[in-house]
Amino acid sequence: METADSRKVFKAGEFIIKQGDPGDSAYIIEEGKVEIRYTDSEGRTRVLGTRGANAMIGEMAIIDNAPRTATIVALEDSKLLEITKDDFSRRLEHADSVLKMATQVILTRYRDTLTRAEIWGERYQWPPAEMVELGYAETTDAVQTITIANEFRDALLSKFVQLYYQPIISLSSGEITGFEALMRWNHPKKGFISPAIFIPVAEESGLIIEASKWALREACLALKRIEAAVKPKDKLYMSVNFSSADFSSDDFIGSVYNTISETDVAAEQVHLEITERVLIQQPDRAKETLRMCRKAGMGIAIDDFGTGYSSLSYLHYFPIDTLKIDQSFVRDMHKNEHSLALVNSIVTLGKNMRMITVAEGVEAKEEAHKLREMGCELAQGYLFAKPMSEADLIERLKLWAPVRF
């Protein structure tokens, strides 16, 4: 190995890092190619992968003093830029505070992921098949999260993110009372990405605030267009999902008010869907915010009701008017008497508290039947309609006939 400033040159075949050795620097490969090898507790050595120009190796050393977790050998003569732990700490000290925090969180999580994978590997096979398939670095939660967050930010701006709308039906009349707006991300290469993947990433990265603002505005505008196209006899409502981060943002209430007045929908036509988590995490703030929303006329629904915190006292504390029964209970109703009892209890609770109950995920006629018998007012599910684009929804509404069951 030759050294010049912070650059190091390794000849083909030379070891750069040895598994088990202490380490206090990471490297960026400027030129050349290296191989990463891992030896398990039984002495079997496997090749984890190769890395070329611009890749970073040995990065664990810049977060802790733990021994090297793998061996890295130069496959070709390679030129590496060294980043010592001290150098890294110094750079971090001067970084913007958000960047600093994010870096620390990500690196710590990265270490946790690797540790988990190592424990797993000792017992089974190292590396797990999916890690090999995706490439070592790309499999970490942190790298994936950053990739998704970056792509999602661009998608929001370039309109690859859309809203779909799922009708919410009155169980007594079979007529539509409103819609739930659900986000869809149509990725140009990967196709539709589930909200179950991108919403948590958007929440973690703070992008959800921008996304929710966009969604509320878009949903309100869509409601106006839908009303203009199908001229319903009764006013319909639009239910929009919000996350904890939305409630923490200082201008939440102002932004909601603005959107409602600018899009010219009646506040009564806007329902906010939140989970119990939002209420529990910041009760005082949530109470005040919800009070102002209710005062203005908006509806407040608790989403996934029954899956969160067990205390019911909060129902009394917050100005809530709708309970959405989680689909896992509805789905199980006909084969699991506990689920049936639970749904029944929620409907009764709703009635006693003068709240509306909405059953989610209704797929079978028998479920709809049972729910109606129990006195559940509203339902949403594939039995009636799947979430659909605005254009499809308008076509569907023009031909809508009350659902018989």
Binding site for ligand C2E (CB under 6 A): 166, 182-183, 194-196, 199, 212, 215, 241-243, 303-304, 327, 360-363, 380-382, 387
Question: Least Å distance between CB 212 and ligand C2E?
Answer: 6
Stretch of 76-84, 95-103, 187-195, 355-363 contacting Ca ion, by CB under 5 A: 355-363
Query: In whole angstroms, how close is the CB of 305 to Ca ion at the nearest point?
Result: 8
The two tokens of residue 327 are 């689909």
Rounded Cα–Cα distance for residues 278 and 206 (Å)? 15
Does 273 sit near Ca ion (CB under 5 A)?
yes
Tell me the closest approach of the beta carbon of residue 236 to ligand C2E, in angstroms.
18
Q: Are 387 and 169 in contact (CB under 8 A)?
A: no
Residue 232 C-beta: closest distance to ligand C2E, Å? 21
- Given Ca ion, ligand C2E, none, residue 363, with its beta carbon under 5 to 8 Å by kind, binds ligand C2E
By beta-carbon proximity to ligand C2E, the closer residue of 33 and 277 is 277
Backbone angles phi, psi at 61, to 5 degrees: -65, -25
Rounded CA gap, 308 and 274, in Å? Answer: 12
Cβ proximity to ligand C2E: between 30 and 363 the closer is 363
Q: CB-wise, 72 or 290, nearer to ligand C2E?
A: 290
Site string for Ca ion, 235-254 (x = CB under 5 A): ------x-------------
Instruction: List Cβ neighbours of 319 (8 Å cut-off, separation of 6 or more).
Output: 287, 290, 291, 294, 300
Query: Of 151 and 360, which has the nearer Cβ to Ca ion?
Result: 360
User: What amino acid is encoded at 339 in this protein?
Assistant: S
Tell me the three state secondary structure of residue 390: helix
SS (H, E, C) 201-249: HHHHHCHHHHHHHHHHHHHHHHHHHHHHHHCCCCCCEEEEECCHHHHHC
Our CB check for ligand C2E shows the closer of 59 and 218 to be 218
Name the binder of 381 from ligand C2E, Ca ion, none, CB < 5-8 A by kind: ligand C2E
Q: Which helix (H) or strand (E) holds 55?
A: none
Q: What minimum distance in Å lies between the beta carbon of 107 and ligand C2E?
A: 28
d(CA 116, CA 39): 16
Q: Nearer to ligand C2E by C-beta: 59 or 367?
A: 367
| Contacted by 272, from Ca ion, ligand C2E, none: CB < 5 to 8 Å by type | none
Which option in Ca ion, ligand C2E, none does residue 376 bind, with CB closer than 5 to 8 A by kind? none
What DSSP letter does each residue of 275-328 carry, written as one string? -HHHHHHSHHHHHHHHHHHHHHT-EEEEEEETSS----HHHHHS---EEEE-HH
Q: Is 304 among the residues that bind Ca ion (CB under 5 A)?
A: yes
Residue 29 near residue 54, CB atoms below 8 Å: yes
| Partner from ligand C2E, Ca ion, none contacting 166, C-beta within 5 to 8 A by type | ligand C2E
At closest approach, how far in Å is the CB of 201 from ligand C2E? 12
d(CA 342, CA 346): 6
Asked if residue 141 lies in contact with residue 109, where contact means CB atoms within 8 angstroms, the answer is yes
Q: 63 or 219: whose CB is closer to Ca ion?
A: 219
3-state secondary structure (DSSP) of residue 146: helix
Token pair belonging to 334: 């006909």
Residue 344 touching Ca ion (CB under 5 A)? no
Nearest CB to ligand C2E, comparing residues 302 and 374: 302
Length of the chain in terms of residues written: 405
- Binding partner of residue 361 among ligand C2E, Ca ion, none, CB cut-off 5 to 8 Å per kind: ligand C2E
Binding residues for Ca ion, per CB under 5 A?
A: 241, 273, 303-304, 360
